[in-house]
Amino acid sequence: MMTRKIVAALAALAFALPTAAYAEDAPLEQQLVDAMNKVFGVHAGFRANHAKGVVVEGRFKPSAEAATLSKASLFSGGEIPVTVRFSDSTGVPNLPDGSDDANPHGMAVKFRLADGSDMDIVINSLKFFPVSTAAELRDLFLAIADSGPNAAKPTKLEQFIGSHPSVPAALGTIATPDSFANEGYFGVNAFVLVNKQGARQAIRYQMLPEKVVHLDKAEAAKRAPDYLMAELPARLKQGPVTFRFMAQLAAAGDDTKDPAKPWPDDRKLVELGVVTIDKAVADSDAAQKKLLFLPSQLPDGIEASDDPMIDIRSAAYAISFSRRNP
Ligand code: HEM
């Protein structure tokens, strides 16, 4: 049932839009951006995925415990500024915020480090990823693009979902929030914290709100098309919004390579600090065009894990950035 609904929603999205060129011999990161363009259409000036978003500003205050896990300057000093972009999924810039396809919602955080460099995290509301590798994500997008209303049954997408049970399982972890402030965001890919003694700890990020509030589908469909983008700036005029920045610690034997495999719920969660969002930026549309968040932009003391998806993500984000800022 769940699977059928997902197939129908994704296939309808693909065929409402013009398609784009796709080159099979291009590097994987380019194939990924092309496959996204094929499903979502090309929209000049917008991101290939998570096209619709809102930019806000605030600060990060590290916890004392964070410095025991990582020597990164992020955790050793006082409060630092952050720029945060919340987003809807898909490359469709005018998608209604209450649409099912707007899930998973995204949160990208740029930590402005004292030495003038940045560290980025790019996370979303899926508790784990639908597929294990970047190549599988490309194949999923290509299957969606090939599964329009006239496609022979079972469609490519039905076949892909049938052979990848992690797709419906992951999509089953998301729901539409009533506010970007009332959603939890998960890093999915593993990173490694390195402390002053050289001890290494694999972790996955979480950003936990004060509370999670999800809407049922009928309620979400009734909301104004831009309700999420409008609500956050309005809420911030009343007061700040906070998130606890957490690290879920891997235990020996936990898979750090496969973002589709969640770690057990009883793994220790350590609070790395608190992100406080104070205000919307003056011109969010102009700000988001210029912003580029890269999952592998990391300071000394935080490293990518052995998950190859992290570097491919950064390469794909850079391609998308260069296309939206020609
Ligand atoms: C191979 C896997 C992935 C690929 C190829 C990919 C591709 C992309 C691309 C091309 C963009 C647009 C970037 C830009 O123009 O700046 C994007 C944005 C984004 N992606 Fe991914 N993505 C992948 C995995 C993930 C995962 C695992 C997450 C979350 C856990 C995620 C969350 C996001 C978010 C939140 C944004 C919006 C960033 C912003 O606000 O600038 N993506 N992705």
What number does the ligand 1 atom closest to the CA of 126 have?
30
Is 11 a residue whose pLDDT tops 80?
no
Rounded Cα gap, residues 254 and 257, in angstroms = 9
Would you place residue 23 in the very low, low, confident or very high pLDDT band (cuts 50, 70, 90)?
A: confident
Distance 49 CA to ligand 1 centre (A): 6
Nearest to 187 by CA among 120, 113, 111: 120
The residue whose CA has the least distance to atom 26 of ligand 1 is: 123
What number does the ligand 1 atom closest to the CA of 85 have?
40
Helix/strand/coil for 244: strand
Q: At residue 12, what are phi and psi to the nearest 5 degrees?
A: -65, -40
For the chain, the straight-line distance linking the first and the last C-alpha, in angstroms and rounded, comes to 43
| Pocket residue to mutate for ligand 1, from 30, 36, 42, 47, most atoms within 8 A of Cβ | 47
Distance of CA 247 to the CA centre of its chain: 16
Q: How many CB atoms are located within 10 Å of the residue 268 CB?
A: 11
**Per-residue burial over 20-44, b = 16 or more CB atoms within 10 Å of its CB, e = otherwise:** bebeeeeeebebbbbbbbbbbbbbe
Contact (Cβ atoms closer than 8 angstroms) between residue 292 and residue 162: no
pLDDT at 20: 57
Would you place residue 1 in the very low, low, confident or very high pLDDT band (cuts 50, 70, 90)?
A: very low
Distance 90 CA to ligand 1 centre (A): 10
pLDDT at 4: 47
pLDDT at 5: 52
Q: What is the CA radius of gyration of the chain?
A: 19
Interior angle at CA 127, CA 121 and CA 131, nearest 5: 90
Q: What is the CATH number of domain 54-128+180-308?
A: 2.40.180.10
pLDDT at 12: 54
What is the pLDDT averaged over residues 305-315?
98
Tokens matching residue 229: 């983008």
Mean pLDDT, rounded, of the chain = 94
Distance 45 CA to ligand 1 centre (A): 16
Task: Please list, in sequence order, all residues whose beta carbon lies within 8 angstroms of the beta carbon of residue 146, skipping any fewer than 6 positions away.
Answer: 155, 156, 157
Rounded Cα gap, residues 50 and 88, in angstroms = 5
132-144, pLDDT tens digit by residue? 999 999 999 999 9
pLDDT at 24: 78
Is 167 a residue whose pLDDT tops 50?
yes
DSSP E strand stretches across 184-240:
185-186, 191-194, 200-209
Distance 136 CA to ligand 1 centre (A): 15
60-95, pLDDT tens digit by residue? 999 999 999 999 999 998 999 999 999 999 999 999
The residue whose CA has the least distance to atom 38 of ligand 1 is: 108
Tokens matching residue 276: 């406080």
Pocket of ligand 1 (CB under 6 A): 32-33, 47-50, 53, 85, 87, 106, 108, 122-124, 129, 134, 137, 187-189, 259, 291-293, 309, 312-313, 316-317, 320-321, 324
How many percent of the chain have pLDDT more than 90? 91
Is 44 a residue whose pLDDT tops 80?
yes
Q: Quick one: DSSP state of residue 311?
A: H
What is the pLDDT averaged over residues 316-324?
98
Tokens matching residue 326: 């020609």
The residue whose CA has the least distance to atom 23 of ligand 1 is: 313
What is the pLDDT averaged over residues 50-57?
98
What number does the ligand 1 atom closest to the CA of 291 have?
41
Q: At residue 220, what are phi and psi to the nearest 5 degrees?
A: -60, -40
170-229, pLDDT tens digit by residue? 999 999 999 999 999 999 999 999 999 999 999 999 999 999 999 999 999 999 999 999
In the chain, where the domains are located: 54-128+180-308
What number does the ligand 1 atom closest to the CA of 188 have?
30
Q: How many CB atoms are located within 10 Å of the residue 164 CB?
A: 19
Q: Which helix (H) or strand (E) holds 228?
A: helix 227-238
What number does the ligand 1 atom closest to the CA of 86 have?
40
Length of the chain counted residue by residue: 326
Paired residues of 59 in beta bridges:
81, 276
Would you place residue 21 in the very low, low, confident or very high pLDDT band (cuts 50, 70, 90)?
A: low
What is the pLDDT averaged over residues 226-252?
98
pLDDT at 10: 55
Q: Quick one: DSSP state of residue 101?
A: G
The residue whose CA has the least distance to atom 19 of ligand 1 is: 50
Is 3 a residue whose pLDDT tops 80?
no
